[in-house]
Amino acid sequence: MAELAWWQRGAIYQIYPRSFADSNGDGIGDLRGIVAHLDHLSALAVEAIWLSPFFRSPMADFGYDVSDPCDVDPIFGTLEDFDHLVAECHAAGIRVVIDWVPNHTSDRHPWFEASRSSRDDPKRDWYVWRDGDGPPNDWTSQFRAVGPAWTFDETTGQWYLHSFMREQPDLNWDNPEVEAAMHDVIRFWMDRGVDGLRLDAIHKIAKDPLMRDHVGAPRRHDEDWETIHERLRGIRRVVDEYDDRMIVGEVALQDLHRIVLYLESGDQLHLAHNFVFVELPWEADAFGTSIEDFEALADRTAWPAWFLENHDLPRLASRFGPAAARAAAVMLYALRGTPFVYQGQELGLPDAHIPPDRVVDVDGRDPVRTPMPWEPGAGGGFSDGEPWLPVDDSTTVRAQAQDPRSSLTLFRRLAALRRELPALRNGSQRRIDAAPGVLAWVRDERVLAAVNFAGEPRPLELRGKVLVSSDPDRAGGDGLGPYEAVIAALDG
Ligand code: GLC
Ligand code: CA
């Protein structure tokens, strides 16, 4: 078996810095808070962390509206704090992946302030400006509450494009100066020792230059245009100026073919977040087919990545129930490919309840962004101050760490097992027949993994020792309990 790259070996753990740990009592998580909790990440044996944005930002979209992509927002700390975090992570054997937001900037970025100042400004064409008595076409923001993807700017009497909030004007990637400037942002962070990038909304950086309407067209015109592949190759060339770095794209497309096209041939993305997988219903056949389809399409050209939670999507425990969330964890770690875990997923957190007067996000994502509950108590060990979103301390890292039956213990066991067993990391993968509602596969013909998607017991012939079960009350013997998933060694 070929040696795996670091980004293929184990889980990549997503940190939402605002909500991970607050070191100075202002109620908002920060970089020093992360360093203070590296022991948690080591105990989870994570291969890398991916940090959601900590750059300078007016925080309209909580950091995804970047006003200076080459500096740390004072709320999160300083560049020195970032260097310290990278050094501490590396000392602990943890790689650092950061978010790179290429599709748009904040409306307070100096580039946009220049661009909007006059039609003749040299930066005018760095963003997308059009004339019109109304919005120039029928494109809408990804955020339902925002409506049209265009805002009229009085100063110069034109409309600018924003695929997200109006505070997030889209950059014009058809302008080579923009591409070059964004490449320099990559170099800035790679020079500081960053190991990889998560490319935010990457399918959005290539749009129909004719800006045609969606209506009546067979496909969307505001994303995933053919130019994406040249642009990905350009990004990859920059990343390949450095050793052993990785790029993972947020490829939010509902078409496996298109996703795989972003990965192919070794000169585009290393990994893609698969948004077909994340939308599947909790059914064995849906997952089984989707996994097989990906494997068939990607064949030898691409390495899979599997994720089921992030800072934008409802949590598994609320979508499918707590038992299914645990079974899904077994699936993520036992599939061929890189598992992504979002902070709090290891605790099996559900979507939090947010009282109406505490709602802050434009797109309803507060319930999945509440602070990490570290310890019992008012601030949940997250903060000594008033947390920016409510903390629920009904379950905590401390309590789960001491509980052999907890979700956290399960995640630690899964991570350890993946380190122990080469078959789980890079063994071949073959689906095998199983009872209705059960998805089962073998890795390297040595290890069996099976997930019962049904809420009733199902038969399963276990030809060996169960190494881990999602069900702490597993009775033993053959078969799977309701929503139970297991990994077992195969005899012989
Ligand atoms: C991505 C991020 C999301 C953000 C959006 C705009 O989808 O995951 O949180 O709001 O891009 O940057
Ligand atoms: Ca803080």
Tens digit of each residue's pLDDT (9 = 90 or more) over 130-178: 999 999 999 999 999 999 999 999 999 999 999 999 999 999 999 999 9
Region 244-267: mean pLDDT is: 95
Helices (H), 110-215: 110-117, 176-191
CA distance 34 to 11: 17
In the reported structure, the alpha carbon of residue 429 is separated from the centroid of ligand 1 by a whole-number distance in angstroms of 33
Atom 7 of ligand 1: nearest residue by CA position: 201
- Bridge-partner residues for 51, per DSSP? 15, 98
What does DSSP say about strands 158-161 and 196-199: parallel, antiparallel, or unpaired? Answer: unpaired
**pLDDT for 1 beyond 80:** no
| Probe target for ligand 1 pocket from 104, 107, 164, 199, with the most ligand atoms within 8 Å of CB | 164
Q: How many alpha carbons lie under 13 Å from residue 128 in its C-beta half-sphere?
A: 29
CA dist 202 → 169, 272, 427 (Å): 15, 10, 30
Give the separation between CA 95 and CA 120, rounded to whole angstroms: 44
pLDDT of 492 reads 67
Nearest residue (by CA) to ligand 1, atom 4, is 64
Cβ-based neighbour number of residue 75 at 10 Å: 19
- Identify the H or E element spanning 70: strand 68-72
The answer to whether residue 80 scores a pLDDT higher than 80 is yes
Percent of the chain at pLDDT > 90 equals: 95
Buried b (16+ CB within 10 A) or exposed e, 360-387: ebbeebbbbbbbbbbeeeebbbbbeeeb
What ligand is nearest to the CA atom of residue 383?
2
**Closest by alpha carbon to 247, among 268, 275, 276, 225?**
268
Whether the CB of 164 sits within 6 Å of ligand 1: yes
What's 65's DSSP letter?
S
For the Cβ of 167 lying below 6 angstroms from any atom of ligand 1, the answer is no
From the CB of 101, is ligand 1 less than 6 Å away? yes
- From 32, 18, 29, 36, select the one nearest 78 (Cα to Cα): 32
Q: Cβ–Cβ contacts within 10 Å for residue 477, how many?
A: 7
In tens, the pLDDT along 408-457 reads: 999 999 999 999 999 999 999 999 999 999 999 999 999 999 999 999 99
Q: Give me ligand 2 centre to Cα 75, in Å.
A: 6
Assigned CATH topology for domain 428-489: Immunoglobulin-like (2.60.40)
**pLDDT at 265 (0 to 100):** 82
Judge contact between 316 and 281, C-beta under 8 A: no
73-87, 109-123, 287-301, 407-421: segment of lowest average pLDDT: 287-301
Integer Cα distance of 227 and 206 in angstroms: 6
Beta strands at 95-100 and 196-199: parallel, antiparallel or unpaired:
parallel
Give the atom of ligand 1 at the shortest distance from the alpha carbon of 101. 12
- Centre of ligand 2 to C-alpha 143, Å, is 28
Counting ligands in written order, which one lies closest to the CA of residue 162? 1
Residue 402, sorted as left (phi over 0), alpha (psi -120 to 50) or beta, turns out to be alpha
Task: Give the residue-averaged pLDDT of 236-243.
Answer: 98
CATH topology of domain 6-104+176-418: TIM Barrel (3.20.20)
Distance 464 CA to ligand 2 centre (A): 49
62: CA distance to ligand 1 center in Å? 9
Q: How far does residue 33's CA lie from ligand 2's centre (Å)?
A: 8
Which residue's entry shows tokens 């041939």? 265
Tokens coding 170: 């889209």
Mean of pLDDT values over 194-223: 95
Residue closest by Cα to atom 6 of ligand 1: 64
Query: Which atom of ligand 1 lies closest to the CA of 65?
Result: 12
What pLDDT score does 476 carry? 81
- Which pTM was predicted? 0.98
pLDDT for the residue 170: 99
Distance, in Å, from the CA atom of 353 to the CA atom of 366, rounded to the nearest integer, reads: 9
Q: What pLDDT is attached to residue 143?
A: 98
Q: 80 catalytic, yes or no? A: no
Determine whether the shortest distance from the Cβ of 62 to ligand 1 is under 6 A. no
What residue segments make up the domains of the chain, in order of their start? 6-104+176-418, 110-161, 428-489
What is the identity of the amino acid at 261? L
Burial 416-444 (b: 16+ CB within 10 A, else e): ebbeebebbbbbebeeeebbebbbbbbbb
- Per-residue pLDDT band at 300 (split at 50, 70, 90): confident
Q: Is 200 in the pocket of ligand 1 (CB under 6 A)?
A: yes
**What mean pLDDT, rounded, does the chain reach?**
97
Pairing state of beta strands 271-274 and 246-251?
parallel
Please say if the pLDDT value at position 24 is more than 60: yes
- Establish whether residue 55 lines the binding site of ligand 1, counting it when its CB lies within 6 angstroms of any ligand atom: no
Q: Is any ligand 1 atom within 6 A of the Cβ of residue 47?
A: no
Q: What is d(CA 105, CA 28) in angstroms, rounded to the nearest whole number? A: 22
200 catalytically annotated: yes
Does 312 sit in the ligand 1 pocket, CB within 6 Å? Answer: yes
**Nearest-angstrom CA–CA distance, 197 and 190:** 9
Confidence of residue 475 (pLDDT cuts 50, 70, 90): confident
Pick from 289, 105, 332: which is nearest to 201 by CA? Answer: 105
pLDDT of 461 reads 92
Class of domain 110-161: alpha beta
What number does the ligand 1 atom closest to the CA of 143 have? 10
Cα separation, 404 vs 291, whole angstroms:
31
Q: With contact defined as beta carbons under 8 Å apart, do 237 and 164 qualify?
A: no
| Closest listed residue to residue 362, CA positions, set 81, 115, 167 | 167
Torsion, CA 429, CA 302, CA 182, CA 223, rounded to 10:
-100
In the structure encoding, which two tokens stand for residue 483, read together? 């929503």
16 lines ligand 1 (CB under 6 A): no
Mean pLDDT of 244-255: 98
- State the helix-helix crossing angle for 176-191 and 228-239, rounded to 10 degrees: 30
Each residue's pLDDT tens digit, 329-371:
999 999 999 999 999 999 999 999 999 999 999 999 999 999 9
Catalytic residue, from 61, 73, 167, 200: name it. 200
Catalytic residue among 241, 285, 386, 403: 241
pLDDT of 301 reads 81
Q: Is 201 in the pocket of ligand 1 (CB under 6 A)?
A: yes
The 3-state secondary structure of 216-258 reads: CCCCCCCCCCCCHHHHHHHHHHHHCCCCCCEEEEEECCCCHHH
For residue 193, is pLDDT > 90? yes
**380 pLDDT higher than 60:** yes
Return all residues near 82 (Cβ < 8 A) that are at least 6 apart.
Answer: 31, 54, 72, 192
Q: What is the pLDDT of residue 477?
A: 85
